[in-house]
């Protein structure tokens, strides 16, 4: 069962908890994939409720979002389970079925083609209405050094930059 929520009743929880790890779920060509996100923003632009997720261009999730620009954000009540965190936060769906491996239960979406996740039941259904791939030269120097080189002698900019995907939040609910 799904119980509708006002997404902005959860904006403090979103901001306080996102660094503990939420799931970002995508689907294209019949394949569903979830990855852990630690960064995200909710707010308003163009008069619409928006959730922005930041996905490195190297992720399999990035490829799926390019193919089908819809996603769900799946927020656990407390924290993601240890196995879910490990599997979805370090392995790539390019090589495996992470949903199966992490024992996640899919719940069909209502307004998007991407499912929700029962184990992380606070759900935002989002449609991408804008995207922007960040430019390595435009990062402040400390950010560029910390996040876009690997600290082991690789040149700056050798780690993939992030694309900000702006999802209009078209539906929000709690799976009961
Ligand atoms: C706590 C945590 C937060 C993360 N946050 C992000 C994020 O916001 N953006 C991102 O691109 N990768 C992030 N990652 C890394 C991805 O979850 C990881 O690379 C994942 O294996 C990508 O899966 P995919 O290749 O199936 O898309 C995070 C990982 C962890 C453990």
Domain with 80 in it: what CATH number? Answer: 2.30.110.10
Query: Could you give the number of structural domains in the chain?
Result: 1
Question: Which residues have any ligand 1 atom within 6 Å of their CB?
Answer: 21, 33, 35-39, 54-56, 59-61, 89-94
Q: What is the mean pLDDT of the chain?
A: 95
Task: Give the pLDDT of residue 75.
Answer: 98
Distance CA 119, CA 103 (A): 9
Question: pLDDT tens digit string along 89-128?
Answer: 999 999 899 999 999 999 999 999 999 999 999 999 999 9
Nearest residue (CA) to ligand 1, atom 3: 38
Lowest-pLDDT range, 8-17, 61-70, 132-141?
132-141
User: Residues 152-159: contacts with CB within 8 Å, 24+ apart?
Assistant: 159/56, 159/58
Question: pLDDT tens digit string along 43-94?
Answer: 999 999 999 999 999 999 999 999 999 999 999 999 999 999 999 999 999 9
**Any idea what DSSP says for residue 42?**
E
**Any idea what DSSP says for residue 166?**
E
Lowest-pLDDT range, 16-20, 40-44, 108-112, 153-157?
153-157
| CA–centroid distance, residue 138 to ligand 1 (Å) | 22
Which residue from 39, 59, 64, 148 has its CB within 8 A of the most atoms of ligand 1, so it is best to mutate? 59
Q: How much of the chain exceeds pLDDT 70, in percent?
A: 95
Q: Print the domain residue range for 98.
A: 2-175
| CA–centroid distance, residue 93 to ligand 1 (Å) | 11
| CA–centroid distance, residue 89 to ligand 1 (Å) | 5
Residue 152 in this model has a pLDDT that exceeds 80:
no
Q: Are 44 and 93 in contact (CB under 8 A)?
A: no
- Does this model's pTM top 0.85? My answer is yes
């Amino acid at each position: 069962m799904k119980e509708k929520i006002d997404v902005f009743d959860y904006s403090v929880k979103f901001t306080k908890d996102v660094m503990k790890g939420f799931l970002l779920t995508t689907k294209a060509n019949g394949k569903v994939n979830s990855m852990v996100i630690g960064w995200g923003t909710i707010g308003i632009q163009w008069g619409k409720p928006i959730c922005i997720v930041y996905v490195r261009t190297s992720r399999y999730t990035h490829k799926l979002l390019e193919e089908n620009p819809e996603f769900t954000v799946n927020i656990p009540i407390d924290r993601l389970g240890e196995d879910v965190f490990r599997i979805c936060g370090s392995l790539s769906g390019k090589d495996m079925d992470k949903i199966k491996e992490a024992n996640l239960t899919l719940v069909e979406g209502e307004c998007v083609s991407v499912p929700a996740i029962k184990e992380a039941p606070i759900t935002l259904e989002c449609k991408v209405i804008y995207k922007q791939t960040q430019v390595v030269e435009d990062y402040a120097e400390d950010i560029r050094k910390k996040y876009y080189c690997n600290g082991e002698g690789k040149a700056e900019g050798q780690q993939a930059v992030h694309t900000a995907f702006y999802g209009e939040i078209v539906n929000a609910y709690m799976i009961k």
